[in-house]
């Protein structure tokens, strides 16, 4: 009878694919299948431009136990690009198989206009277009005023921030304090990117001028000329007499005093209309005021109801004295 000999062969190692591709931030699993005579141990190595190194379970790496020592790599990044070897051994020796891993993707891409110019009181919408692989997971807006420090913006009565996929920023009721740098920051598993735009706010209170020195006679009409200039446009015109606001709206005594016709016309001037007048033009920045002018009465036209009004104001002797002084 011939003697019986038992031979042990090295394990057969097989990685399913030669190449694997993963996106930054994802999890990669590289399977390792063993066959043939039982392996007594298995391990993985990683090779890149820095050379070969052994991998052990811990941190981002997890190596399964025999008989299927698959390698799992979590939170993939660009440094994981390289060659991976699964090595198995028994009493007969060691064998291996290898595969390469490539990593795609990068930080988000952001598109935003470089600058905006708006008027006080207006609304501005600043779009921020974000894209990338892996997908953007969150967007944040910050504001840095001129000479100030950066601050994170949140949705409020002043600011509206849309959610992904269109995280535009809207700012209402603009004023000078809104001038500065606005930054859109997008975050993904690959990291964070940011891009900024500059917002300039123009305008202020309006320049208001009364031209000429208004003079008239009692009973006649007079127009006090007013003009305004500047940005943003006036939304309201007010007139004051002796520092009190005149009720112009439905009062037949007056005409004008509007944005398109700011000059004030006083009809059938009476003694009670004398005093100082001031024109005020209001816009989103606030009120712009003219200097004050005085309405002067010259030789008076004492007719109609003003004749009786005038007599009531004076004693008989004063009436005679004033009458002869002005006729």
Say if residue 301's pLDDT is above 60: no
Is the Cβ–Cβ distance between 209 and 227 less than 8 Å? Answer: yes
Q: Which residues contact 103 (CB under 8 A, 6 or more apart)?
A: 21, 22, 23, 24, 76, 77, 78, 80, 81
**How many residues does this entry show for the chain?**
327
What does the pLDDT look like over 34-51, one tens digit per residue? 988 788 999 999 999 999
The Cα–Cα gap between 216 and 131 comes to 71
Give the up-direction half-sphere exposure of residue 172: CA atoms within 13 A in the CB hemisphere. Answer: 7
- Whether the link from the prior residue into 165 is cis, omega within 30° of 0, is yes
pLDDT exceeds 80 at position 319: no
Please report which confidence band the pLDDT of residue 321 belongs to, taking 50, 70 and 90 as the band edges.
Answer: low
Kindly state the average pLDDT of the residues 129-139. Answer: 94
Q: Using pLDDT thresholds of 50, 70 and 90, give the confidence band for residue 7.
A: low
| pLDDT higher than 70, residue 105 | yes
pLDDT band for position 308 (cuts 50, 70, 90): very low
Q: Taking a C-beta distance cutoff of 8 angstroms, is the pair 76, 84 a contact?
A: no
Domains and CATH numbers, the chain: 12-104 (2.60.40.10), 109-202 (2.60.40.10), 207-298 (2.60.40.10)
Q: What is the pLDDT of residues 185-241, one digit of tens each?
A: 999 988 899 999 999 999 999 999 999 889 999 999 999 999 999 999 999 999 999
pLDDT of residue 316: 47
Sign of torsion, CA 156 160 164 167? negative
pTM: 0.66
pLDDT at 294: 96
Neighbours of 113 (CB within 10 A): 11
């Amino acid at each position: 009878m011939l003697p019986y000999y038992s031979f042990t062969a090295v394990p057969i190692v097989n990685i399913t694919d030669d190449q694997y591709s993963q996106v930054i931030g994802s999890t990669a699993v590289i399977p390792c299948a063993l066959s043939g005579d039982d392996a007594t141990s298995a391990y993985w190595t990683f090779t890149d431009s820095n050379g070969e190194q052994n991998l052990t379970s811990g941190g981002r790496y997890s190596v399964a136990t025999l008989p299927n020592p698959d390698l799992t790599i979590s939170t993939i990044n660009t440094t994981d690009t390289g060659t991976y070897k699964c090595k198995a051994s028994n009493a007969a020796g060691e064998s291996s198989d290898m595969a390469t891993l490539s990593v795609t993707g990068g930080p988000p891409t952001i598109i935003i206009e470089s600058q905006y110019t708006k008027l006080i009181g207006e609304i501005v919408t600043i779009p921020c277009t974000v894209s990338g692989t892996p997908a953007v997971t969150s967007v944040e807006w910050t504001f840095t005023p001129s000479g100030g420090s950066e601050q994170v913006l949140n949705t409020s009565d002043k600011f509206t921030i849309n959610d992904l996929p269109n995280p535009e920023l809207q700012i209402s009721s603009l004023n000078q304090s809104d001038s500065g740098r606005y930054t859109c920051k997008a975050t993904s598993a690959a990291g964070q990117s940011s891009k900024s735009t500059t917002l300039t706010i123009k305008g202020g209170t309006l320049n208001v001028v009364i031209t000429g020195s208004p003079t008239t006679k009692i009973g006649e009409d007079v127009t006090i000329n007013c003009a305004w200039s500047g940005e943003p446009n006036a939304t309201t015109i007010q007139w004051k007499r002796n520092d009190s606001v005149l009720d112009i709206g439905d009062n037949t005594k007056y005409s004008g005093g509007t944005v398109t016709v700011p000059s004030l016309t006083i009809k059938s001037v009476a003694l009670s209309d004398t005093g100082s007048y001031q024109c005020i033009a209001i816009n989103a920045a606030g009120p712009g005021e003219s200097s004050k002018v005085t309405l002067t009465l010259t030789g008076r036209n004492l007719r109609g109801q003003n004749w009786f009004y005038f007599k009531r104001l004076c004693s008989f002797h004063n009436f005679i004295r004033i009458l002869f002084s002005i006729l």
